[in-house]
Amino acid sequence: MCKLMDVKIDKPKRFYSGVRWRTNSSNKKRLAIDFKNRYAYCDDLDKHGGGYRSYHVEHFAPKDKFPELEYNYDNLLYSCQYCNILKSNKWIGNTHNVSVIGNEGFIDLCEDEYCKHLKRDEAGKIVFITELGRYMYNELQLYLNRHKCIYNLERISLKLEEIKQEIETKKQKGENTDFLEEIKNELSNTFYDYYGILADENG
């Protein structure tokens, strides 16, 4: 049986509330920190998804429908361009605080509830486990291969750093590092394979 993990590596937490900064760029600086440079829905790390400049400020309750919330920090999310464009002005409720009706709608990623509906499998693919999860999965196209690629790029990157440090430690002790060098080369090749897939998706 496949082991499922939470989509979010770390649940984001907003450290500000209300209207403080009346520009997207000012809010984005704080959101990047609060969301640990990961997008709210897919958890893509920004450095593998185009970097900080390519990420957006997403309005959970759409600003076109609720203009009074345009700069309200409680309504803002750190967003990759893909999920932001796909979500757009979609909103199930008639008021800003009704985001879900039945099995349709969206859940704020700062809420624990999100991880009850969407998970990630061992290969890094996002999967839905409820009907509400299915709705978000389809509307945001969380099945896109890029989300799996970015997740695995980060995992490989962290493992490469561990191995490089271990190689350096062994070299300082005069120990043989041939086996670790082989693993490092294999991981490096896999890392660039994933970047190739990501480049093709962006292409």
Each residue of 122-144: pLDDT tens digit?
Answer: 999 999 999 999 999 999 999 99
| Domain shared by 25 and 102, yes or no | yes
Q: Write the Ramachandran bin of 127: left for phi over 0, alpha for psi from -120 to 50, otherwise beta.
A: beta
Q: Report pTM.
A: 0.89
Residue with tokens 């049986």: 1
Residue 4 predicted with pLDDT over 70: yes
| Domain shared by 9 and 24, yes or no | yes
Residue with tokens 């969206």: 106
Nearest to 138 by CA among 98, 114, 106, 109: 106
Other residues' Cβ atoms within 10 Å of the Cβ of residue 89: 10
| Domain shared by 136 and 48, yes or no | yes
| Domain shared by 29 and 105, yes or no | yes
Average pLDDT, the chain: 92
| Domain shared by 76 and 89, yes or no | yes
Residue 202 predicted with pLDDT over 80: no
CA–CA separation, 160 vs 179, rounded Å? Answer: 14
Residue with tokens 């962006």: 202
Q: What are the E-state strand segments in 60-151?
A: 76-79, 100-101, 104-105, 118-120, 126-128
- Enclosing domain of residue 155: 146-202
Residue 203 predicted with pLDDT over 70: no
Each residue of 155-184: pLDDT tens digit?
Answer: 999 999 999 999 999 999 999 999 999 999
The pLDDT of residue 67 is 95
Each residue of 34-76: pLDDT tens digit?
Answer: 999 998 899 999 988 788 888 999 999 999 999 999 999 999 9
| Domain shared by 39 and 132, yes or no | yes
Total structural domains in the chain?
2
| Domain shared by 88 and 42, yes or no | yes
| Domain shared by 25 and 114, yes or no | yes
